[in-house]
Amino acid sequence: MQAFQVHAFDAPPALTDVPVPRPGPGEVALRIAACGVNFADMLMAQGKYQDTPALPFTLGMEVCGTVAALGPGVTAPAIGTRVSVFGGQGGMAQVAVYDAARCRPVPDAMPDTVAAGFQVAYGTSHLALSHRARLQPGDTLLVLGAAGGVGLTAVEIGHAMGARVIAVARGADKLAVARAAGADHMLDSDAGDLKAQLKALCADIGGVDVVYDPVGGDAFKAALSVCNREARVVIIGFASGEVPQILANLLLVKNITVIGFYWGGYLTFAPQVLSDSLAELMDWYAQGRLRPHIGAVLPLDRANEALAHLADRTATGKIVIVP
């Protein structure tokens, strides 16, 4: 079969012919229907992600597929069951093997492309906003990178939780996507001094109670300048490439809390918290409260193109690979 693999961190990933994997004890083999692409995949390909596997490895953190074979001792999910899995790697392939305990049944009404890109983006935003930031109805939520894979879900979930949402993204097209997801106010990060734009807006509507930041860099600094007292700033990632340095005196004066958040970490120290969050999100989807935005669906032989869209920040919503 074919798999999109990283063989060296100084060379692009490439399609590679590999043996079809067989499930071991406690595992299942999935025939992959779709694989969500995440910013972490790009970092893994460069050897810069905190959980980068040993070389060589197959990219693809989350998938939707059909159970094709069971390993020894496994009785469920049954062969033929459609499931989604966050496996951390292996998804950009025709077949992949995963721990059976990580497989989650997919509702019939949820398309493969949606299910493949649902767990990381929606799970990240929901757990970050509800569990870590304790977002409340009536809070003002500032979302940086608001048209990206996780940022757009933060806009949508923040709106669903009753917050007033300020979306920051690059250009009118991306801001239109954020508006459709529920943003109340839109700011173009390419339209001049972001700090000045935020201060002008907040002079009219009041400051910010929660910041959702997958960008870092100067955007983080600008967001910190408009935080209300006891604001919560959730650090999701650093798409700008710059890890900001925090001036602790600003935190002290306004009693601001800066919160680190890594969704995948909950699999190891609090898996039930993650499972409960995903169960609630599935309920929201079934109720029609969530409308996932798929920005592009690409075949496996165009996976490098998908990574390039993430690198140059031209993607909106989720990019999905269909092998």
The pLDDT score that the predictor gives to residue 290 is 95
Please report, as a single letter, which amino acid is at residue 98: Y
In the three-class reduction of DSSP (H, G, I as helix; E, B as strand; rest coil), residue 227 is classed as strand
The pLDDT score that the predictor gives to residue 87 is 92
Q: Are 160 and 137 in contact (CB under 8 A)?
A: no
Instruction: Decide if pLDDT at 177 tops 90.
Output: yes
The pLDDT score that the predictor gives to residue 256 is 97
Domains of the chain: 2-118+292-322 (3.90.180.10), 120-264 (3.40.50.720)
The pLDDT score that the predictor gives to residue 313 is 81
Q: pLDDT (tens digit, 9 = 90+) per residue, 230-269?
A: 999 999 999 888 898 888 888 999 999 999 999 988 988 9
Percent of the chain with pLDDT over 90: 89
Residue 102 has which token pair? 């990580």
Across 75-95, average pLDDT: 96
End-to-end alpha carbon distance in the chain: 10
Across 98-113, average pLDDT: 94
Q: pLDDT (tens digit, 9 = 90+) per residue, 8-54?
A: 999 999 999 999 999 999 999 999 999 999 999 999 999 999 889 99
The pLDDT score that the predictor gives to residue 311 is 86
Average pLDDT over the chain, rounded to an integer: 95
The pLDDT score that the predictor gives to residue 314 is 83
All residues at 6 or more sequence positions from 9 whose CB lies less than 8 Å from its CB, including other chains: 45, 46, 47, 55
Instruction: Decide if pLDDT at 92 tops 90.
Output: yes
Q: Is 312 exposed, middle or buried (0-12, 13-18, 19+ CB in 10 A)?
A: exposed
Predicted TM-score (pTM) of the model is 0.92
Q: Are 127 and 263 in contact (CB under 8 A)?
A: yes
Please report, as a single letter, which amino acid is at residue 52: T
Across 176-196, average pLDDT: 95
Q: Are 212 and 232 in contact (CB under 8 A)?
A: no
| Proportion of the chain in helix, strand, coil states, percent, rounded to 5 | 35, 25, 40
Which bin fits 261, alpha (ψ -120 to 50), beta or left (φ > 0)?
beta
Instruction: Decide if pLDDT at 294 tops 90.
Output: yes
Q: Are 40 and 49 in contact (CB under 8 A)?
A: yes
d(CA 167, CA 183): 6
Place of tokens 């039930």: 272
Instruction: Report the Cα 176 to chain-centroid distance in Å.
Output: 20
All residues at 6 or more sequence positions from 320 whose CB lies less than 8 Å from its CB, including other chains: 34, 35, 36, 37, 113, 116, 117, 294, 296, 297, 298
Instruction: Decide if pLDDT at 64 tops 90.
Output: yes
Across 269-285, average pLDDT: 93
Q: β-strands 14-17, 2-6: how paired?
A: antiparallel
Residue 217 has which token pair? 């860099």
Which long-range contacts (C-beta less than 8 Å, at least 24 apart) are formed by 201-204?
201/166, 202/226
Instruction: Decide if pLDDT at 176 tops 90.
Output: yes
Percent of the chain with pLDDT over 70: 100
d(CA 20, CA 255): 54
The pLDDT score that the predictor gives to residue 80 is 97
Residue 158 has which token pair? 């923040």
